[in-house]
Amino acid sequence: MQLDAAVDEQARNSNEKSSTTSKISDVNDCAALSMKSKDLTEALKGSSKNTRDLNELSNEITLLKERNKSMEGELKEMQERYSEISLKFAEVEGEREQLVMKLRSLKNGK
C-alpha cells in the first residue's frame, strides 16, 4: 500500500512538473508571439512611412517635371527673342556703317 501511495505521489509530482513546464512553455510562447507582434507592428509603421515618403516624392517629381517643361518653353521663347534681337542688331549695325561711310565721303568731298 505504501508503495502504491508512493507511486501515486510520484505520478502526481510528475504531472505537476509536466503541467508547470507546460505553463512555462506557454508563457514563453506568448512572450515570443508578443515580441513578434511588436516587431511586425514596427515594420508596418516603417512601411507605411516609406509609402507616404514615396508618394510625396512622386508628387514632387511630377511638379518638378511640369516646372521643367514650363521653363524649357520659356527658354525657347528667350532664344527666339535673342535671335530676333541679334538679327535686328546686325541690320542696324550695317545701316550705321553705311551712314558712317556716307558721312566720311561727304566730309572728304568738301
In SS3 terms, 33-61 reads as HHHHHHHHHHHHHHHHHHHHHHHHHHHHH
Domain contains 103: no
Please write the tens of the pLDDT for every residue from 44-92. Answer: 777 788 888 899 999 999 999 999 999 999 999 999 999 999 999 999 9
pLDDT, residue 25, reads: 72
Domain contains 108: no
Reported as a pLDDT band with limits 50, 70 and 90, residue 3 is low
Distance of alpha carbon 4 from alpha carbon 40, whole angstroms: 53
Domain contains 69: yes
Domain contains 17: yes
Q: What domain range is 30 assigned to?
A: 1-79
Distance of alpha carbon 80 from alpha carbon 73, whole angstroms: 11
pTM over 0.95: no
The tally of domains found in the chain comes to 1
Please write the tens of the pLDDT for every residue from 21-41. Answer: 666 677 677 777 788 777 778
- Helix, strand and coil content of the chain, in percent to the nearest 5, comes to 100, 0, 0
Quote the mean pLDDT of the chain: 85
